[in-house]
């Protein structure tokens, strides 16, 4: 077995990298911090994208495309935004290369220096609001409900495949509204879209909440987020939706004439999820054998492995049966692959498809053919059963539903077991160090205390849950009065 996977409990981080690399999802590239998304990983992204895109369109959004480059000066127009995004980014300074006078390769042509440097977009609020200025004159032009699927670049110093890469793929919604209420409702609606997507499709339970001021998006008035828990007990922010107030309208002077004939600043939201979701998917469900993928997003649902017999007629019959089953499954929308490679042994194939996380494996041998059955194995529990070929399509259809539900339930149980209420600093540290997961604790509400807690514990406030119960208490660090518990965790 060339593709050995590190045990999750032994080295979680190496286990993760093994799954990404050996599972065929992505590769490192020649460019620092940038990854190559391999076909198997990209199909996963296509499935994520297609479902989300459908959800965005159902909620009235349309797609558009804005330039990759942002003039440097744009970033400075919104004071918080520039602090958050104008630092680690890719800067285009020249627009031409020329042959090296020394005859070796090419060099930057010093005469082709841009008057103003261009930044490769780390996020597109500025270029988009500079455009909206020309699109918006009156209340009739509102709301604008636009989404963009794009690549963005943030020059991260420490990168991890899918979780944090210099370039990543994402979608960014940017909406413009006539009123504050409408914009807040939009930001909340899109958070709910993300939460539904995570739970229904990724089988990933999430906590819906708002960020503390420290963790807010640079330029936002309020940042809504969904937070998920990984199997190592660390939290992962899976999506954010921002109420931007009038900050970008002010920065780019975007006003509209109201029905009453008054000039008003426009209200904004933005919201995004990225290829990071693939990292979350991997870490939420997978095991020591490899990837475990929820059927609703898996590139393939089923692999059919017909045994290769020494009798060529028998082999042929098994192949034909495999194709028959595939047609049946295809008619039900079940994505199926046949592996009848004669050069590989069944055991090798079993390990390979377990590594790749195919939800269901169907094996048929000569005796199965005689008995009119096949062996069906599910990836999540490893259970095998002998299934009648008669209605195998229905059986598998049901099985895929069961797997989807089981993955969600398992992740939900894990998450529920890993939300721990604590009331003292010692308990707090003990849970973070040993039990891990979310810690529900009182905090005095100040950014300074939050910073101090982070410094001492490496935990951050993941969110203040929506509809949080109010409860009198004392801050675990300062003992100052607090009105509600918030969720802390160490996080990706």
Point out which residues bind a second copy (CB under 8 A): 27, 29-31, 34-39, 42-43, 45-46, 62-76, 82, 86-98, 105-106, 108, 117-120, 127, 130-131, 134, 146, 150-151, 153, 155, 167, 169
Tokens 């963790």, residue? 215
Query: 120-157: b or e for each residue (b if 16 or more CB lie within 10 Å)?
Result: bbbbbbbbbbbbbeeebeebeebbbbbbbebebbbbbe
CB of 448 to a second copy, least distance (A): 23
Nearer to a second copy, 39 or 447 (CB): 39
CB of 463 to a second copy, least distance (A): 30
Nearer to a second copy, 97 or 456 (CB): 97
CB of 336 to a second copy, least distance (A): 15
Tokens 């977009």, residue? 121
Distance of CA 157 to the CA centre of its chain: 20
Nearer to a second copy, 313 or 342 (CB): 342
Tokens 């929308």, residue? 333
381 Cβ neighbours under 8 A, 6+ residues apart: 406
Nearer to a second copy, 149 or 350 (CB): 149
CB of 322 to a second copy, least distance (A): 19
CB of 66 to a second copy, least distance (A): 5
Half-sphere exposure (CA, 13 Å, Cβ side) for 148? 19
Nearer to a second copy, 88 or 451 (CB): 88
CB of 1 to a second copy, least distance (A): 18
CB of 50 to a second copy, least distance (A): 10
CB of 223 to a second copy, least distance (A): 23
CB of 183 to a second copy, least distance (A): 19
Query: 68-90: b or e for each residue (b if 16 or more CB lie within 10 Å)?
Result: bbbbbebbebbeebbebbbeebe
Nearer to a second copy, 64 or 448 (CB): 64
* Whole-number Å distance between alpha carbons of 257 and 174: 20
CA end-to-end span of the chain, whole Å? 31
DSSP states of 409-424 as a string? Answer: HHHHHHHHHTEEE--S
CB of 380 to a second copy, least distance (A): 25
Cβ–Cβ < 8 Å for 246, 219: no
Nearer to a second copy, 107 or 456 (CB): 107
Nearer to a second copy, 51 or 92 (CB): 92
Structure tokens at 363: 């094996």
**Sign of the dihedral through C-alpha 228, 230, 235, 239:** negative
Nearer to a second copy, 153 or 464 (CB): 153
Nearer to a second copy, 87 or 458 (CB): 87
Cβ–Cβ < 8 Å for 281, 44: yes
Nearer to a second copy, 117 or 314 (CB): 117
71 beta partners: 118
CA distances from 307 to 100, 192, 402 (A): 60, 46, 27
CB of 176 to a second copy, least distance (A): 13
CB of 199 to a second copy, least distance (A): 27
Tokens 């000039």, residue? 263
* Contacts by 374-381, CB closer than 8 A, 24 or more apart: 374/325, 378/402, 378/403, 379/292, 379/293, 379/353, 379/354, 379/403, 380/285, 380/292, 380/406, 380/407, 380/410, 381/406
* Whole-number Å distance between alpha carbons of 267 and 442: 33
Structure tokens at 480: 């100052």
Nearer to a second copy, 86 or 377 (CB): 86
* Whole-number Å distance between alpha carbons of 382 and 361: 10
């Amino acid at each position: 077995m060339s593709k050995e996977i590190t045990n999750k409990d032994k080295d979680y981080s190496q286990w993760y990298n093994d799954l990404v690399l050996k599972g065929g999802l992505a590769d490192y590239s020649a460019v620092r911090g940038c990854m190559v998304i391999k076909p198997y990983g990209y199909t996963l992204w296509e499935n994520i994208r297609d479902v989300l895109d459908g959800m965005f369109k159902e909620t009235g959004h349309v797609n558009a495309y804005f330039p990759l480059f942002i003039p440097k000066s744009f970033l400075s127009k919104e004071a918080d935004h520039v602090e958050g995004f104008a630092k680690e980014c890719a800067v285009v300074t020249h627009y031409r290369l020329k042959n090296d006078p020394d005859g070796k390769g090419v060099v930057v042509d010093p005469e082709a220096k841009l008057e103003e440097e261009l930044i490769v977009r780390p996020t597109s609020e500025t270029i988009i609001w500079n455009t909206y200025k020309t699109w918006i004159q009156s209340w009739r032009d509102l709301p604008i409900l636009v989404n963009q699927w794009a690549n963005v670049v943030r020059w991260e110093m420490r990168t991890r495949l899918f979780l944090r890469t210099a370039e990543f793929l994402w979608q960014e919604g940017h909406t413009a509204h006539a009123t504050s209420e409408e914009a807040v409702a939009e930001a909340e609606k899109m958070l709910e879209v993300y939460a539904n997507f995570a739970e229904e499709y990724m089988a990933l339970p999430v906590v819906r909440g708002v960020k503390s001021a420290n963790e807010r998006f640079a330029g936002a008035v309020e940042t809504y987020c969904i937070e998920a828990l990984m199997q190592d007990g660390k939290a992962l922010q899976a999506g954010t939706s921002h109420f931007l107030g009038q900050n970008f309208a002010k920065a780019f002077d975007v006003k509209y004439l109201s029905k009453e004939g008054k000039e008003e600043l426009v209200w904004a939201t933005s919201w995004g999820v990225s290829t990071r979701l693939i990292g979350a998917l991997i870490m939420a469900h997978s095991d020591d054998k490899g990837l475990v993928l929820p059927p609703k997003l898996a590139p393939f649902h089923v692999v059919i492995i017909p045994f290769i017999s020494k009798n060529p007629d028998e082999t042929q019959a098994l192949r034909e049966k495999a194709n028959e089953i595939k047609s049946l499954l295809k008619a039900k929308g079940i994505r199926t692959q046949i592996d009848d490679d004669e050069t590989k042994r069944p055991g090798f194939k079993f390990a390979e498809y377990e590594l790749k996380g195919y939800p269901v494996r169907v094996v048929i041998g000569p005796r199965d053919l005689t008995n009119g059955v096949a062996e069906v194995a599910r990836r999540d529990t490893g259970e095998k059963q002998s299934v009648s070929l008669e209605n195998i399509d229905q059986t598998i259809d049901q099985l895929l539903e069961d797997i989807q539900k089981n993955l969600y339930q398992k992740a939900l149980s894990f998450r529920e077991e890993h939300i721990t209420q604590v009331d003292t600093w010692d308990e707090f540290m003990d849970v973070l160090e040993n039990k891990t997961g979310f810690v529900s604790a009182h905090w005095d509400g100040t950014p300074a205390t939050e910073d101090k807690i982070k410094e001492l514990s490496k935990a951050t406030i993941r969110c203040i849950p929506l509809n949080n119960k109010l409860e009198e208490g004392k801050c675990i660090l300062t003992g100052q009065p607090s009105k509600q518990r918030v969720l802390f965790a160490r996080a990706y």
